[in-house]
Amino acid sequence: MAIFRFAWTHMGAVSLLLASLAISACTSTSSTASSSSGPVDALQLTSSSTPLSGGGALQMVKDLPAPQNTQNGSEQPLSPNDVLEVNVFQVDNLNRTVQVDAGGQISLPLIGTITASGKTVRQLEQEIETAYGAKYLQSPDVTVFVKESIGQRITVDGEVNRAGIYPVSSNSTLLDAIALAGNFSPIGDAKKVFIYRNIGSNTLVANYDVEAVRAGKVRNPRIYGGDKVVVFASKSKIAMSNLKDALGIASSAARLGVMVP
């Protein structure tokens, strides 16, 4: 399995952020969190939402919903840069390997451009069948295979041993993500694991206690392509400003992620 690593400059920024959080735990008398109690209940935030510079808001929730247009999590929507194989049964000259462009579209013979991004594979298959059936073929049978999925990657950042960008499958979980990143660093706090997920124009974030997950006390949450998992240092205090800063650094590092064998 390919592993993705961050540019060192961003890893340094993450380390500085988490180190500053650890220092603030020793010097601040703020009551934004308590390091001795459960992770969700300990977040005594003055606000559960803060605006993001690119639009939308960062919202703290107790539990994350499945991403939109995933049939309640059973399917992964297509993303720009995904590579697809489109096969039309018994019409070999229409078969193509195409890449979803930056605008979310693909181009196919006869029917031209079709929007693929944001749709499930089955939805795209149906749309292509309808387009071919309208003018060119009788009862076309189209199969779309995802050859390479950019959208099926997650970012794992913060206090883990191997922060980076990793490919995930359709049934990956939070424990899988932590394992991919080599588990927690010596100062990583298993109770301060945050998952960020884009839902519409907003980014939702939820706190998960990996110790409780491993003990079977709470469910092991699903992870979806595009998620960002950030582990904070032990004794760090958590506020919406900290969560917003961590999201910004993880997002920047994800854009600069480089694939290595």
User: How far is the C-alpha of 228 from the C-alpha of 247, rounded, in Å?
Assistant: 8
Q: What is the pLDDT of residues 199-218, one digit of tens each?
A: 888 999 999 999 999 999 99
Spatial neighbors of 111 by CB under 8 A, at least 6 apart, are 128, 131, 132, 136
The rounded average pLDDT for each run of 10 residues, N- to C-terminus, in the chain (261 residues) is 42 49 40 36 61 88 84 73 94 96 93 92 95 96 90 91 90 95 96 93 94 96 93 88 88 57 31
Amino acid at 151: G
Tokens 């904070």 sit at which residue? 232
Q: What is the pTM assigned to this prediction?
A: 0.68
Q: What is the pLDDT of residues 70-109, one digit of tens each?
A: 666 567 788 888 999 999 999 999 999 999 998 899 999 9
H or E stretch at 156: strand 153-158
Give all domains of the chain, ordered by start, each with its CATH number: 3-69+152-260 (3.10.560.10), 83-148 (3.30.1950.10)
What pLDDT, on the 0 to 100 scale, is given for residue 240?
87
What pLDDT, on the 0 to 100 scale, is given for residue 34?
34
